[in-house]
Structure formats: C-alpha cells, structure tokens
Structure 1
Amino acid sequence: MMKAVYLSGHGGNEVVHYGERPKPQRQPGEVLVRLRAATLNRVDLYMRDSGAGIRHSLPLIMGVDGAGEIAEVDADEQLLKPGQRVLLYSGKTCGRCEFCQHGEPVLCTSMQTLGEHCDGTLAEYIAVPANMVFPIPDDFSFAEAAALGVNHLTAWRMLFTKAQLKPWETVLVFGIGGGVSLAGMQLAKAAGARVIVTSREQDKIDQALALGADAGICSATEDVQKRVMALTGGRGVDVVLENVGEAVWSTALKCLVRGGRIVTCGATTGDQPGADLRRLFIRQLQVIGSTLGNPGELQDLLAWCAQGKVRPVVARTFPLAQIHEALALFEDNRQFGKVALTMEG
C-alpha cells in the first residue's frame, strides 16, 4: 500500500481524501516512479467538482503533473536507470492513431491523462510507460520540475508551436499569477518578446514586473484595451495568450493588431463568449486553440531549462497530507505561481 490523495465522489473537499491506496505494480515496458512532488492545476478542481465529460472511475488518485526518482525499470532499459530524477509527461497515448503516427500524440484519439482518465500523481508511487518520463535538470527541485509538465509545456506549445511567436513581437498575457499565464510570460520574455500582463490584483502586477514583464495593467482600475493601445502606439499586440475565457474575450480581440493571433487553452469564466465575427474577418484575426503539448516539445522546453533560460515559480509548498489547505489556497486564486505538494520520505 501507499499514501495518496484520491476522490471518492464529486463535490467539495469532503470528497478528497488522504489515505492508503494500492501501490501500483510495474508491468514490462513501464517505469515505477517514487514521486517526490506534484503541483495543482485547474483540472484538479474540475475533477473534484464534477469531472463532467471526462471518462473516469472512482476512486481516482488526483494529480496531473509530477516528478520523482525511478524506483524500478526493465533490466534492458538503455536510457533510464534506478535513482534517476525524472518528471512525467501527463498523457498516455496509443501510438497508432493518425495523429500519433503524424507526430501529434497530444491529439491522440484515445489519450488518457493522468489524474483525469486514470490514477494520477498525488501519490507516493506511479507506474507509467517508459516513454512518459524525462530526466530533469540537476539544479531543479522536484517541485520546480513537476511544474514544467503541464503549465510550462502548455504555454510552450501555445506560444511557439501554435502562435509562432517571433522575438520582435508583443504578447499580451491575461490573468498573470496563474500557472499557464506566468509560464507564458516567462517563456515569451526568454524568447526576446515584449510582454504586457494583466491582473485584477496590483500586487500580482508588481511581482510580474519584478520578474521581467515590460508593462502591467490592473484590470480592476484600468481599461485594458485603452492601456494596451497606449502602450503599443495605437497598433495593438501581435499575440494574446488567454485562458480566462468569456470575461476577457471581447477585450482580447480588440487588443490585437490586424492579422494578430489569439491562442487559448482555457475558459475558467465561461466558454460561450460573443464571436465578434465582423472584427474577426475584417481584421483577419486568427483564433487558435491549444492544450498541453507533445513529448518532443517537452524535450525542447527541458533543453531551455538546462540552459538557464526559464525556471518555474513555486508560490507555496504543502505536504501531501495537507491537500485540503492546498486546494483552498489554489481555489481562491491567492497565489502567484504554482502550489506544490511534496511526498514524505
């Protein structure tokens, strides 16, 4: 047996339990990882609240990302060895569908995501296929490494694969302080772009500016569109990175330069905004959807991290047993950066 955080139903924190679950048994071709840290993501709240539309069975171990040490591996494995520090790629893919075959496994028609479709990372151990683990930079903590697997990977695909961001361009990032938004700001700055961030909280703007953002807009006291136009000489931004959804969608479209791109990976405030089709076609805007990323993109991200170009911000760390406190902080959106959980031992 092992300690884990698991769901017994759907609702509030009363359905989230810290207790014993069966320790996974590694199969041939798999790696058993002794997890040391994981971080919270918005999907953890979604799975707790309802998990609607996601095929899963209960009880379900929570957690999408994670990092730890290899405990067991096949004797003939060439690239991985016991004791090696690794992080997890979050998706189990089939390798056979048209998308896997064409180098886009993130679009796999039968992908199973950890903590959603199958047991996740808020546990002492996890067994996954060997191609789902990646060595982490030596100077990264386990919590920092775990943070890369979802938020930074998602932001990487959004900016570089989907939006094709150029170093001379300007990016507008909504909701700074959240995981993907903060990761996007860090990556865009590391790529040489100019970055404008927004938040309803001035202290988060101040922290973003301290980390390198070029300008910040407090949406509680300023008109975001007017401020963006003032900052860009009336031109607008080249790229909007957005995961807030309905509450900011109209403003986001109005902040784009002609031919600009908005790339979105979430809809925390609603998923049915006005389309504003006239603006869309007259200004020839591009609306791009994205989620997670491919293993190859994760390898590229890790290479950047090894070169010191980017490092995740971990706001708070809790022991796994304090999952309710961690979820309460995360749900209230009080943190700037990632909320991490560490496993004892």
Structure 2
Amino acid sequence: MKAFVIESGELKIKEMEEPKARAEEVLVALKTAGINRRDLGLQKRYGDNPEALIIGSDGAGIVEAVGEGVAGVAVGDEVIINPALRWFANSDAPPPEFDILGMPDHGTFAEKIALSAEQVEKKPAHMNWEEAGGLVLPALTGYRALFTKGQVQEGQTLFIPGAGSGVATFLIQFAKSAGARVIVTSRSEEKRTHALEIGADRAIATDSDWQAELADETVDLVIDSVGAATFNRSLDVLKKGGRIVIFGATTDDNVDFNLRSFFYGQYQLFGSTMGSREELRNMLAFMEKHGIKPIVDEVFALESAQEAFDRLAEAKQFGKVVLQIGE
C-alpha cells in the first residue's frame, strides 16, 4: 500500500506492507487524513532512523476487517480515528500510557491502518469525508482547552491569538455555540475576514497594540498556542483573575513573565493537551447539536503530501489541510 513516511531522515511516498487486524483491532481503509502541526515536527524528532514510520494522527475511512474479540464495530462501518491513544475517562491529566497516534505507532497517512477498536468512533453523519478526516486532533484539543480547562461560560469573552489554525477555527465555532464572545488576532487581513465569517466578533491585527485595541473589552479567557511571542501580550489583555490555557508553543517553549504581577493579578494558568475519549464523545454530540463542521482549507492527494506539508509550514492555511487517500 502507499504511505507517506519518514525514513532515514527523509519524508517520502513509499510502498509499505499492508497491515492486518489482530485480536481486538480493526483494519480501516482510509479515505482522508488531516495534517496537523504536530506532524511537521516529527521528521526532526524521528531523526535518521532507517525504519520507515508512517506518520499522521487524524483520519477517516471504512472498516475493512475486524479482529477476534471486537464488539460494537463491524465491517462496512464509516469511522473516524481517535488519535488520543489509551485515554478513555476524562481526568486532570492524561494517564501514563497515553500517546498520540503517528509516532511511535504507524499513523494515518496511508491507504490502510490497523489499530485498537477502542480508537475508532462512528463518522458524524453531517460531515463529508474531507471534514471528518481532519476532525479529531484539533477539535478535541480545542474542546478540552475551552470547556474542561477554560470553563468558558455564556456571556464571557474569549481571546485567541492566531485565527487560522485548525484548533482556532474550532474554538471560534465552539465558543460562539456556547454563547461566548470571541476575539482573534492574525497578521493576515484575509484570515481576519475568514474568522469573522465563521463567527468571531472581533479580529485585530497581530502587530497592533492589543491593550489599546481591547481597552473597551473584558477578556475572561485566553487560549494560546503561539508561545513566547504572544504569552505576555495575552496576559496584558486578560482581566484580573482571568484564565489562560496553553496547548502549544509554535514560537518558543520558554517564556519569561513577572511572577509578582501574576500573583497580584490572581491569574489562573492551565496546560492542556488533546483530550479523553469521554470528552471526544461529548464533543461529537455538541457538534451534532449545533451543526458544527470543520473548516477545510485545501485538499491534496496523498502523492502531494509534501506540498500539503509546505502549505501548513508556511502558515498559509485557514482551517484544515487534508489528504485525499481513498476513492
């Protein structure tokens, strides 16, 4: 089968052995797979390992075979992949056995994948394959950050630095459906316009004076994944006693901030990563109730995966970049 892999430090399309469903597993013929920013960093993390690794965390497809002992999943079922491995009940932090699909396990950028039957869910009926294939990792990340950690409430104001990522597009739609006010930033006027089109109430330029721009706003919650470039600027616009949730660090892992100002301001800082199966199922019900769909930026053929990677690496996207795999 065709797959997009890392091998000896290089990204390439490679013929790989087709997997088989072992006991408690299902074999899924993938139709689409979503690219996430996590995937961009795997080449460096995997290094020069000569053993080919299929990367990719998100995907959707049709169950082709089931292994011994599988219940509740049948051949022909349309499913989405849950890449949050072995995290089932909601908890303050993931269990020690938690990992994310796509390293060290083979991932979704391939024609087929075999994995535990516990890691698939029914494909949402109101989504097409392109939408479903790029759904879970960014949507679940946003859902946990907004509701489990951020505890957003109706009438509150959410501030999101960066409007174009897959997670940000879900955060906007989730927060608006929950009755919150949403403010985003972007360097791109086009992305600011798109953010307003999908529900954001305000969109300001990244290089503007945020404190001056938002002097008339009361920001209750910040959800940030940029890192050092925005952390202190975000803190400056957050109300005293407000909450800030961090789920990524695309600029720099290390941040300096004034502890005295922080504790005098009574701010609350939370870390968040992905989410549990319990939260995923709650999220799917929430999306169905409110008719929420992923925002798809562009769809590429599996053979053009490198081009798709380049688009994401250059931050040209608004929403999800998706690979078309099956017919």
Task: State whether TM-score is above 0.5.
Answer: yes
* Partners of 2:158 and 2:219 within 8 A in 1: yes
Q: RMSD of the TM alignment (CA)?
A: 1.8
Look up the equivalent residue of 1:26 and give its one-letter code: A
Query: How far is 1:153 from its partner?
Result: 0.3
Residues 70-85 of structure 1 mapped to structure 2, 5 A cutoff:
70-74=63-67, 77-85=70-78
Residues 203-282 of structure 1 mapped to structure 2, 5 A cutoff:
203-220=190-207, 222-230=208-216, 232=217, 236-282=218-264
Q: Does 1:329 align with 2:316?
A: no
* Partners of 2:186 and 2:204 within 8 A in 1: yes
* Partners of 1:36 and 1:67 within 8 A in 2: yes
* Partners of 1:70 and 1:85 within 8 A in 2: yes
Aligned residue for 2:11? 16
* Percent identity (aligned): 36
Q: Does 1:311 align with 2:310?
A: no
Query: How far is 1:203 from its partner?
Result: 0.9
Q: Does 1:39 align with 2:21?
A: no
Query: What SS is found at the alignment partner of 2:4?
Result: strand
Structure-2-length-normalised TM-score: 0.95
* Partners of 2:34 and 2:135 within 8 A in 1: no
Query: How far is 1:205 from its partner?
Result: 0.4
Return closer, same or farther for 1:77/1:25 CA change in 2, 3 Å cut-off. closer
Aligned residue for 1:177? 164
Query: How far is 1:137 from its partner?
Result: 1.6
Equivalent pairs, count: 326
Query: How far is 1:60 from its partner?
Result: 0.8
Matches of 1:105 and 1:341, distance apart in 2: 33
Matches of 1:147 and 1:191, distance apart in 2: 22
2:140 to 153, 158, 161: 153
Q: Gapped runs of 5+ residues in structure 2? A: none
Aligned residue for 1:88? 81
Return closer, same or farther for 1:110/1:34 CA change in 2, 3 Å cut-off. same
Matches of 2:16 and 2:93, distance apart in 1: 29
* Partners of 1:34 and 1:70 within 8 A in 2: yes
Q: Gapped runs of 5+ residues in structure 1? A: none
Return closer, same or farther for 1:265/1:69 CA change in 2, 3 Å cut-off. same
Could you list the per-position Cα deviations for residues 153-205 of structure 1 after superposition, in whole angstroms to 9, with x for gaps in the alignment? 00000010011110110000111011111211111111110000001111100
Matches of 1:244 and 1:252, distance apart in 2: 10
Look up the equivalent residue of 1:80 and give its one-letter code: V
Aligned residue for 2:61? 68
* Partners of 1:69 and 1:84 within 8 A in 2: yes
